[in-house]
Amino acid sequence: MTAVLQRVSQATVYADGEFSGECGQGLLILLGISTEDGEEDARLLADKIARLRIFCDEQDKMNLSVNDIGGGVLVVSNFTLQANYSHGNRPDYLAAARPEVAEPLYEYFLRLMEERVSHVGCGKFGADMHIEMTGDGPVTIVMDSAMLKKGKKT
């Protein structure tokens, strides 16, 4: 499972032309689910994201988590994060989980985030979505559950 975290001052998502979700100061999370992912991947990412210290304290050091600042998250599903661009100029998305597998994992990830963060907004799975955001930093982190699994084993 791949998550692109963007620290934001605010973010809003519209799905199929209608308001879907938002957050104020916090994180915009683009979430890509692969054919190899399961509930453990979602748990590892949710735990790490909720504790990740990437917000500034009084000394301007990145020492605070989204919870420490009372922030929220906006989660948007994004199968294109699983793109294979190694051949030609048209990526394939064969590594992306099929909707019947990805959507329940996306919903599970949302529930996990709701248990860990005070405000969770979301997009609409499978919809055409438009995101408006004001980046804060910029601070952008690409997180992969496979890396978290490797770190867990040592």
Is 116 buried (19+), middle (13-18) or exposed (0-12) by CB count in 10 A? middle
Given this model, what pLDDT does residue 151 score? 80
Is 75 buried (19+), middle (13-18) or exposed (0-12) by CB count in 10 A? buried
pLDDT digits (tens, 9 = 90+) for 67-96: 999 999 999 999 999 999 999 999 999 999
Provide the domain limits for residue 121.
2-153
pLDDT digits (tens, 9 = 90+) for 94-144: 999 999 999 999 999 999 999 999 999 999 999 999 999 999 999 999 999
Query: Residue 131 belongs to what H/E stretch?
Result: strand 129-144
Given this model, what pLDDT does residue 154 score? 47
pLDDT for 152 beyond 90: no
Instruction: Please compute the mean of the pLDDT values over residues 3-7 and round it to a whole number.
Output: 98
Please state, as a whole number, how many other Cβ atoms lie within 10 Å of the Cβ of residue 152. Answer: 10
CATH number of 17's domain: 3.50.80.10
The pLDDT confidence band at residue 146, using thresholds 50, 70 and 90, is: very high
The closest alpha carbon to 27, from 121, 129, 94, belongs to: 121
Q: Please state the domain count of the chain.
A: 1
